[in-house]
Amino acid sequence: MQIVPQRRFYVLLTCVIVLAVLSFGWPILFWPANFALALVLAATAADALLLISSGQRLEIIRQIPEVLSMGYPHEVRLVIRNNSVHKLSAEIIDEMPVQLQKRDFSIHAYAQPESTIVLNYKMRPLTRGVYKFGLVRVLRSGMLGLVSIRLSGGSEQQVAVYPSIMEMKQLEMSAFSTLTQSGGIRKIRRLGHSYVFEQIRDYVKGDEFRSINWKATGRRGKLMINQYEDERSQQIIQVIDRSRVMQLPFNGLTLLDYSVNAALAISNIALRKHDKAGLLLFSSSKLQFVAPESRRSQMSRILEVLYNAEESKLDSGFELLYTGVRNSIERRSLLFLYTNFESVYSLERALPILRKLNRLHLLVVISFENIEISRLAETSAVNLEEVYAQTIAQKYLGEKLSLFQILRQHGIQSIFTKPENLSVHVANKYLELKARGLI
């Protein structure tokens, strides 16, 4: 416990000093200055004694979720119990993790005697890893507002920030919703009947007429339709580039973090669709591979590897990627490749390897729209400098779009998306390819 003078104490003390200085010219002010000094010191001592007698009667509990999702806001709750017979007026300072870089965070709290208050604030973790919360510091003011005491409460806590489990659950609900559209997920019509028969059910608006079971319709007196299962046990592998091109930040998250969140969400959907989900992380020097499986424990394995995924400062290692795919993946699979090509030259360097991978597997190349440059290209130019900047931005976007025309010319599937829409677009592509029977 530490006693700290407040601003009001310094203001009163300054007034006493001014009065004492003026007493040199007007001696009649000497005794009033001494009396004022004694009064301030006595009031300060009384304020401090009252604080000492009641200041430690506080109970503080910090409540945080056991697991946090990267990129999503989470609520932290501080429960403060004032067990003293005096009102509580204090500044609450929670020692937040260093990853949040919050050094000026505080909450002012007021509580009646023998009462409990709850303070809430939100935090949005932007990196994966262990977040360490320190103690809760309380700067409690006295009744007269002259001094305060510093108290510590709560306890130190650690919580792990994983790839976005919240986004994974939301996308899962959208993908398996019975609505036509939910959360941006499109319902794709199946082409053909190369599926396993599952059941006969009532006709719903939007179903294909070719699937109507006329015998069952005649018996029941209403339209009945054959329902087929998707083909199962197909291999869906998320391939993530960990190189320096994935370090661009947008809205606080890097492209690698967006890819990690999307890979977790799509792997979960694939497992729910009874497919085999796998994972491959690569750079120019290191390859991490999680073999595709459909077991329940597969999500835990994928989550742990994504949790520990680190960025590389080197260029992309597509040669190492090709070697790893040839040696590790024997069966034809759907590969979602998360990378970022910024120029035609960078794509042309990787194109021969991408074409080889596409011959062995069904490859989908995913690259990102630079939303800052897109915003610059859409703004209206006012002066000559802004015209130059806008022209360069539009030229860059045109070159970026030409990259995907090159991929399509060579028969390679591609997705060009804003980072925040990544998971939805990849989920739609997965459902589309599955519905078309291309996997």
pLDDT recorded at residue 385: 85
pLDDT above 70 covers what percent of the chain?
A: 92
- The predicted model gives 44-71 an average pLDDT of 83
Q: pLDDT digit string (tens) for 352-397?
A: 999 999 999 999 999 998 888 888 888 888 888 888 888 888 888 8
> What pLDDT band is residue 183 in, cutting at 50, 70 and 90?
low
Task: Convert the pLDDT of each residue in 142-178 to its tens digit.
Answer: 778 788 888 888 889 999 999 988 888 888 887 776 4
Residue 262 confidence (pLDDT) above 70 = yes
Name 334's bridge partners.
236, 362
pTM, entire model: 0.77
Indicate if the pLDDT at residue 186 is higher than 90: no
Tokens 């992309």 belong to: 316
Residues 405-414: pLDDT tens digits? 999 999 999 9
pLDDT of residue 180: 43
The pLDDT of residue 1 is 64
Mean pLDDT of the region 175-193: 54
- What pLDDT does residue 187 have? 55
Does residue 192 carry a pLDDT above 50? no
Task: Please check the confidence at residue 225 and state whether its pLDDT lies above 60.
Answer: yes
Distance CA 172, CA 182 (A): 10
| pLDDT reading at 189 higher than 60 | no
343-351, long-range: CB < 8 A, 24+ apart? 343/399, 344/399, 344/402, 344/403, 344/406, 346/245, 347/403, 347/406, 347/407, 349/318, 350/316, 350/318, 351/406, 351/410
Residues 305 and 281 sit within 8 Å (Cβ to Cβ):
yes
Task: Please state, for a pLDDT cut of 90, what percent of the chain lies above it.
Answer: 39
Q: pLDDT class for 184, splitting at 50, 70, 90?
A: low
**Which 3-state string (H, E, C) describes the chain?**
CEEEECHHHHHHHHHHHHHHHHCCCCHHHHHHHHHHHHHHHHHHHHHHHHHHHHCCCEEEEEECCCEEECCCCEEEEEEEEECCCCCEEEEEEECCCHHHCCCCCCEEEEECCCEEEEEEEEECCCCCEEEEECCEEEEEECCCCCEEEEEEECCCEEEEEECCHHHHHHHHHHHCCCCCEECCEECCCCCCCCCEEEEEEECCCCCCHHHECHHHHHHHCCCEEEEEECCCCCEEEEEEECCHHHCCEECCEEHHHHHHHHHHHHHHHHHHCCCEEEEEEECCCCEEEEEEECCCCHHHHHHHHHHCCCCCCCCCCHHHHHHHHHHHCCCCCEEEEECCCCCHHHHHHHHHHHHHHHHHCEEEEEEECCHHHHHHHHCCCCCHHHHHHHHHHHHHHHHHHHHHHHHHHCCCEEEEECHHHHHHHHHHHHHHHHHCCCC
Q: Is the pLDDT at 231 greater than 70, yes or no?
A: no
What per-residue confidence (pLDDT) applies to 178?
Answer: 45
Contact 263, 128 (CB under 8 A): no
pLDDT at position 140 over 90:
no
Per-residue model confidence (pLDDT) at position 190? 47
- The 10s digit of each residue's pLDDT in 107-125 is 888 888 888 999 999 999 9
288 or 225, greater pLDDT: 288
> How far is it, in rounded angstroms, from Cα 292 to Cα 20?
83
Most confident of 20-29, 216-225, 272-281, 371-380: 272-281
Query: Residue 188's pLDDT band (boundaries 50, 70, 90)?
Result: low
Could you tell me the domains of the chain? 1-162 (2.60.40.10), 165-185+232-435 (3.40.50), 196-229 (no CATH)
Buried residues in 138-156 as b, exposed as e (16+ CB within 10 A): bbbbbebebbbbbbebbee
Choice between 369 and 438, residue whose per-residue pLDDT is larger? 369
Residue range 42-50: average pLDDT?
85
Question: Tokens 């499986």 label which residue?
Answer: 293
pLDDT at 191: 41
Averaged pLDDT of the chain? 86
> Tell me, what's the pLDDT at 166?
85
What pLDDT is attached to residue 149?
81
